[in-house]
Chains A and B, each alone.
Chain A
Amino acid sequence: MREHVWASVVRETGFALFLSCLLLPSTLFAQSSNKPTEARKEESVEQLRDQLRHIEERHQRELADLKDRLGLVEKRQSSLSDELAQNIRVGAYGAVAFESFGDRRTTHDGNFEVLISGHFHDRIRVYTEIDLGLPHGTADAEQAYVDLLLAQPFNLRAGVLLIPFGKFNLDHFDPRRDLTRPPSVARLVTPTTWSDLGFGAFGFFPVSDNVKATYEVQVINGLTDKFLAAPGTIPDPGLQSARTGLRSDNNGDKAIVGRGTLKFFDQYEIGFSGYRGEYKPGSNDLMTGIAFDTELRPRNITILDNFVLRSEFARFDIQGSTTPSSLWGYYIQLTYRFWPSALNSTILGRHFNNPTFALVGLYGRTKMNTAASPTGSQTGEQFIIGFNYRPVEDYVFKAEYQFNHGQFNQFPSDGFLTSIAWIF
């Protein structure tokens, strides 16, 4: 029995020892082997962190490098596009009109003009405006000149020049005007669009902070005698046919024309123009002209902010002619621009930044003293009311009604005109 107990004790002790042998080393080894593993892990983490830092630094360097390169490309691109935009500009403007007058068939009319302007040197610029002659079929240069920009008060211009006689001739561009047709005085007295071959000078003087002066003087071939009635023919009314058509001078005598302006507070502009030149071949008879124009854009007076008042008077006296001996006329035009904000969400305003409506009223009067009339003169009177819609500055829809009276008028009867004009 004792032996059995001893055997049992020995067996259990042996089993316990066996278990201890099994467990203790693993516990001891486990402690001693875990320490180096953690150290390795920490080292690995540190290495990974280092690598990550290196990668980040490399990426930062590459990013900075890329940014520099991109900046350089942007600068170059910007400079290049700026240079291109400053140096060359090709555009065009056009207009299509529908006319319905009581004395004639309704018709569509229009014009299309190509514009090219540019600087081929900081001080030399060119400008060309070619009327493609649509729909009448004769292309003509309305302007084609080169400017030598010497100083603000004195610059030279040569080529096919737009004549500085009255403001309307200088601002004859359809998309910029508020009415479809020029007023009668700018058609019959001043033969708009009036251009001629020659050279001249122009400049700008700041008289004071609030007063500025400009001038433009040209020596040109000048008006001709083609407006005079040949025996048995009825001439075109006014001076339209007196223009040279850019042909050589008919009498060898050069005409002088010029315009000076004064502008006050950048709001009120007045202009004075003069013309003098012989017009017949083999004769010293003179044609002289004067014009006076104003453009008032009142600012800082809320109620007048949206009004523009334009007016122009022009007169020509013709020596050695009785048919006509003189012509004169004037117009006054009032434009009111507005835009009801309620239309911003409609189709008229939704897609555009700055749409405007304009109401336009024009009164004009013209007179021609001529022996061809039993009364010694012919007169004309016009009153126009019009409406404009400009979704953007460079596109305009115009509609107007003209009341015309008298014989010396651009249109002899009342009529409705509508047109669309654009520029790009």
Chain B
Amino acid sequence: MNRPSSTEKRWLEALAIASALWLCASFAHAESLAIIVNKNNPNASLSTTTVAGMYRGETLHWPGGDRIKLVNREISAEARKTFYLRVLNAKPDQVFYRQGTPIPVQSVIERSDDAVVRFVGTIEGAIGYVSLSRFKQINDGLAKVILVIESP
């Protein structure tokens, strides 16, 4: 049996390193998401379907009657990609419209996890999504987790 040449060895090593890097990158992207609401929100938990219904504009009010205020991230944000894929089953650039109008379902766009937490902590009736690990670092007690979307 022929022993692999040094060139082949190098190729194998490079392949192994590339695979390891790819795996690391995949795991790095697959981060758990926390769906958060204001600490005064009386709901203790929500289902994925319920949250999806809110972001699709199908559910307009909280069970208590307050209007839902949606917080979104910009299209290019990793959190938004994960949220749209895992919760809304949609691409991050998909726009949901109010039936019979050209008006998109309204949401506030925030450009960082910190800003989302700040907004949700300030506005009662708001709901948003952030990386779970980041939320644990920055939560000042004004927002609470209502659903966790686990990494696959």
* Distance A346 CA – B60 CA, assembled complex (angstroms): 41
Q: What residues of B have a CB within 8 angstroms of the CB of A13 in the complex? A: none
B119 at interface by CB-CB < 8 Å: yes
Contact residues of A: prevailing secondary structure: mixed
Is A9 an interface position by the 8 A CB rule?
A: no
Task: Tell me whether A79 and B103 are in contact in the complex, defined as CB-CB below 8 angstroms, given that A176-B97, A266-B90 are known contacts.
Answer: no
Determine the distance from Cα of A143 to Cα of B61 in the docked complex, in whole angstroms.
Answer: 24
Give the contact stretch, choosing among B4-12, B18-26, B65-73, B143-151. Answer: B65-73
Q: Which of A66-102 contact B (CB under 8 A)?
A: 74-75, 78-79, 82, 85-86, 89, 91, 93
| Contact A176 B102, beta carbon cutoff 8 Å | yes
Give chain B's interface residue range (CB within 8 Å of chain A).
Answer: 20 to 34
Which interface class (under 10, 10 to 19, 20 to 34, 35 or more) fits A? 35 or more
Cβ-based interface call for B106 (8 A): yes
* Centre residue among A82, A122, A164, A267 by max chain B CB count within 10 A: A82
A209 with B49: CB separation less than 8 A: yes
Residue ID in chain B nearest A163 by CB atoms: B100
Is residue A323 contacting chain B, with contact meaning CB distance below 8 A?
no
**Mask of A382-407 contacts with B, CB within 8 angstroms, 1/0:** 00000000000100000000000000
Distance in angstroms between the alpha carbons of A82 and B97 in the assembled complex? 19
Q: Are A86 and B67 in contact (CB under 8 A)?
A: yes
Q: Is the CB of A79 within 8 A of B58?
A: no
Residues of B within 8 A of A212 (CB): 53, 58
Q: Provide the residues of chain A in CB contact with B138, threshold 8 Å.
A: none
State in angstroms the CA–CA spacing of A222 and B76 once bound together. 47
Please state if B91 and A305 are interface contacts (CB–CB under 8 Å).
Answer: yes
A336 contacts B by Cβ under 8 Å: no
Task: Report the minimum CB–CB distance from B125 to chain A (whole Å).
Answer: 9
**Cβ–Cβ < 8 Å partners of B53 in chain A:** 206, 212
Check A93 against B102 for contact (C-beta < 8 Å). Answer: yes
Question: Which residues of B have CB within 8 Å of A173?
Answer: 101-102
Q: Which residues of A contact B (CB under 8 A)?
A: 74-75, 78-79, 82, 85-86, 89, 91, 93, 115, 117, 119, 122-123, 127, 129, 143, 149, 152, 162, 164, 170, 173, 175-176, 202, 204, 206, 209, 212, 214, 216, 265-267, 299-300, 305, 353-354, 356, 393, 423
User: 3 closest pairs, A vs B, by CB?
Assistant: A173-B102, A170-B100, A209-B49
Report 13 cross-chain contacts, Cβ distance below 8 Å, ordered by A residue.
A82-B69, A86-B69, A115-B102, A122-B65, A122-B66, A122-B67, A127-B101, A129-B101, A176-B102, A206-B49, A206-B53, A356-B93, A423-B102
